[in-house]
A = this chain, B = another copy of it.
């Protein structure tokens, strides 16, 4: 059985912790080092308290690139590029980066955009992976089958609600409990940065794609998950669209087309994406739900790692759902 040796960079943040939670139970991975400048010398469970009893590993400030097959970067946006410039990763070691630094073709270099449902084959052959954004994953999975069928012929309308972990670990007003509890609000309407990678992916499937995408992101009062509603005019019948989705995703183990309406908690603490399709008049409405930290970040990173190293795509990623 292949045994992959991994190093984590930025292990003290939300996605770093989630990556650790996954890898500690991954049957074919050994964690060789967990890098964190601010926490060097501390036990992992000093930061991620739930890990008490699972590991005695400590954070380190040293980068033992020579001991690993892959490094996973869980740094803030803009920090990965700088980090890699200052700490270049030697040739045979593969890279998975969770930031947005290498997602767009114009800045990607040798990084491959890591959405397995879009380009599993390219991922398998990559040396470096740019892991998609959380909103971007949820929305793309809701649109890829239509794009592949060339059916994105009109303006697209999206509202999507994200949990607080999407905003990262840094304390700010909108992630404070007193403000956010029982509250709801929008932000970055029409201008969310993930629109770029979404459009790039859609254009790769539907060459002429240049429709406007209207996206209203909401801050939700929960910690985990994204639920997106996506609609556009579409001449196909509901049955035809459902069929497109079923066919597109039948070879993909984490994305499921539900015949029933989906709600967010069905996918929390899983690496799944649940999709529901319905037709109302001329509009097709797609509801898509993921866990922003799992399929939207660390889970997808490990899915990509599995592909990079020829492991089973689902290895270490079939968890007990939280459900409630």
Point out residues on A near B: beta carbons under 8 Å: 14, 17-18, 21-22, 25, 46, 48-54, 157, 159, 161, 163-165, 169, 171-173, 175-187, 189-191, 214, 216, 218, 220-225, 227, 229, 231, 253-254, 256, 258, 260-270, 272, 274, 278, 280-281, 283, 285, 287, 293, 318-324
Contact = CB atoms under 8 A, between A and B. Distances in A.
29 contacts: A17-B323, A21-B321, A21-B323, A25-B318, A49-B262, A50-B323, A159-B216, A161-B218, A164-B178, A165-B178, A165-B324, A171-B171, A175-B176, A175-B178, A177-B180, A177-B221, A182-B225, A182-B268, A184-B222, A184-B263, A184-B264, A185-B261, A185-B262, A186-B261, A190-B283, A214-B231, A216-B285, A269-B320, A293-B324
Give this chain's copy count: 4
Contact of A50 (B46, B177, B266): B266
Contacts of A274: 52
Nearest to A265: B183
**List of 5 A-B pairs having minimum Cβ-Cβ separation, nearest first:** A159-B159, A185-B263, A53-B256, A182-B222, A171-B171
